[in-house]
A = this chain, B = another copy of it.
């Protein structure tokens, strides 16, 4: 196995399953931390702040601070900042998205936004959807944190961000720019954040359709772990295979 110099690691299905930690993954992160390699947790979850996400990992014994977290909300806020400083943003989402937008200096507005940014919002209302649809029709750029169709919960698969976003797409005919995995943009931003080159980085995750495709789309080597969503048989029908497939992160051999 190649000697990588930086690691991008998914959270749900890779570090934990719901509230249950995955010990092999925690040991892996401890090893790369001891070896001094940079790492960043890259998640499509737009609802949590970096502090909240780091807190969950810390409680499981993972060496992680807010600095080790990169959410799709942070990526979306950064993408907008690159396009326009102090942008006027109409946001439909939860606390993680709100904080990320404010952290990057954007102004949250209700009417006449430059951007409509939408993520998972479990307090969605018709009024929020209507305002977003009207703003997109009026020409605001439309950005979506991620396109995940379903959200795994204890109760079953609930509607994900991508499902709520489809209301605006269906109503207006305008497709959003997606930021989260499998888009390459989030991976590129993450590598910039940890200062590691594409060819020296490894993207690790359990979900072929998001984590692994994001790595492939960004031209980064990938490791698919069989601790979450995707199974080995899912790979039969795909053209682009992960660079590595392992039952768990305890099988990873450092060189």
Give A contacts to B, CB under 8 Å: 121-126, 129-130, 133-134, 137, 149-150, 155-160, 162-164, 166-173
Contact = CB atoms under 8 A, between A and B. Distances in A.
Given A134-B155, A166-B169, 7 more contacts: A122-B126, A129-B163, A133-B158, A149-B173, A159-B168, A160-B171, A163-B168
A168 B162 CA distance: 11
A124 B122 contact: no
Given A122-B126, A123-B126, A124-B124, A159 B137 contact: no
Contact of A134 (B121, B130, B156, B163): B156
A156 B132 CA distance: 12
A159 B122 contact: no
A170 B158 contact: no
By Cβ-Cβ distance, the 5 closest A-B pairs, closest first, are A163-B171, A159-B171, A166-B170, A166-B166, A163-B170
B171 A150 contact: yes
Contacts of A149: 170-171, 173
10 contacts: A122-B126, A129-B159, A137-B157, A150-B172, A158-B171, A163-B167, A163-B170, A163-B171, A164-B167, A166-B166
A173 B159 CA distance: 11
Contacts of A124: 124-126, 129
Contacts of A166: 163, 166-167, 169-170
Contacts of A157: 133-134, 137, 171-172
A15 to B, nearest CB: 25
A18 to B, nearest CB: 16
Nearest to A159: B171
A7 B137 CA distance: 36
